[in-house]
Amino acid sequence: MSLNLSKKAILKKTAQFGFVTFFSRILGIIREMLVARILGVGVISDAFLTALKLPSFLRRILAEGSLSAAFVPVFVRKVKEGDKQEANGLMSATFLFFEGIVFLLIIFVAFFPNLVFMVAAPGFTQEQLTYAVPFLRILFPMIFFFSASALLAGALNSVNHVLIPALGPVINNIFFIAFLLGAKFLNFSVTTVCFGVLLSSFVVFLIHVYAYLKYNFSFSHPTQESIKSLKSVIKKFVPSLFGVSIIEINLFVDTSVASFLNAGSISMLTYAGRFMNMPIGIFAVSFATILLPHFSRCATYAPKRLNFQILETTKFITWLLLPTMIFLMFVSQEIFTNLMFGKATTLQNSMTAKWLLIIYLSALVFYALNKILVNVFYALHDTVSPTIALAISAVINLILNITGMYYLGIYGIAAATSVAGIVLTILYFYFLNKKFNFKFYYANYFKFLAKYLLQIIFVSALFLVIYCAIFFALGYTQYFNFFKNTVGYWLIVSPLVVFAAFLLYKTKKLFGVKIYYLSK
Residue 409's CB: how many other CB atoms inside 10 A? 14
**Average pLDDT in the 22-43 region?**
83
Query: pLDDT > 90: what percent of the chain?
Result: 40
Q: 377: which residues sit within 8 A by CB, 6+ positions away?
A: 243, 383, 385, 386, 428, 431, 432
pLDDT of residue 382: 81
Any idea how long the chain is? 520
Query: pLDDT > 70: what percent of the chain?
Result: 87
pLDDT > 70? residue 288? no
**Average pLDDT in the 36-50 region?**
88
pLDDT > 50? residue 2? no
pLDDT of residue 428: 93
What pLDDT band is residue 446 in, cutting at 50, 70 and 90?
very high
127-154 tens-digit pLDDT: 999 999 999 999 999 999 988 998 888 8
What pLDDT band is residue 495 in, cutting at 50, 70 and 90?
very high
CA 52 to chain centre: 15
**Average pLDDT in the 201-214 region?**
93
pLDDT of residue 145: 93
pLDDT > 50? residue 1? no
pLDDT of residue 3: 44
pLDDT of residue 371: 82
- pTM assigned to the model: 0.78
From 17-26, 229-238, 270-279, 491-500, the region with the lowest mean pLDDT: 17-26
User: Residue 212 in contact with residue 152, Cβ under 8 Å?
Assistant: yes
Q: Cα(427)–Cα(177) distance, rounded to whole angstroms?
A: 40
Q: Cα(359)–Cα(414) distance, rounded to whole angstroms?
A: 6
411-440 tens-digit pLDDT: 999 999 999 999 999 999 999 889 888 888
> Which has the higher per-residue pLDDT, 78 or 467?
467
pLDDT of residue 163: 75
Residue 112's CB: how many other CB atoms inside 10 A? 11
